[in-house]
Amino acid sequence: MTLPHPNTDQISLPIVLGVLGDPTRLAIVRYLASKEGVPLNCSQFLDLGSKTNLSYHLAKLREAGVTRAEVVGTNRMITLRRADLDARFPGLLDSVIAASADDPALPAVGGHDIEVTV
């Protein structure tokens, strides 16, 4: 049960840019970058949309070659394809992540305002 991913040399610049041109997906990438090395399952992103909608966006990211999804039991472990993207488009991911880091308009994962009831 492996999911389809493009090879590194099949990753297309306009497709990657188009896929990153969506606030939800940019927020996913931003969060993956902040947790690099830690594989995350889909439910980590539920702040960003419904389960169905995330399934759609995560599939887009995977099909574009931005993320990798590994099936582990009932989970899909999602990671950034950083090495592949760096090889194909040097500097691109870094500049996108750096720019997204200080974009207040982007939705955020784990950005709950914790209700402190005294």
Q: What does 41 interact with, of DNA, its own copies, none (CB < 5 to 8 A by kind)?
A: DNA
What is the smallest separation between the CB atom of 118 and DNA, expressed in angstroms? 30
| Piece in contact with DNA (CB under 7 A), picked from 26-34, 41-49, 81-89, 95-103 | 41-49
Residue 90 binds its own copies, judged by CB under 8 A: yes
C-alpha to C-alpha distance for 93 and 69, rounded to whole angstroms:
18
Q: What does 73 interact with, of its own copies, DNA, none (CB < 5 to 8 A by kind)?
A: DNA
Q: What are the residues whose beta carbons fall under 8 Å from the beta carbon of 57, sequence distance 6 or more?
A: 22, 24, 25, 28, 48, 49
Residues 68, 9 contacting (CB under 8 angstroms): no
Beta-bridge mates of residue 79: 68
Residue 22 binds its own copies, judged by CB under 8 A: yes
- Characterize the bridge pairing of strands 75-80 and 67-72: antiparallel
Residue 100 binds its own copies, judged by CB under 8 A: yes
Q: Which residues bind its own copies (CB under 8 A)?
A: 12-23, 26, 88-92, 94-96, 98-100, 103, 105-106
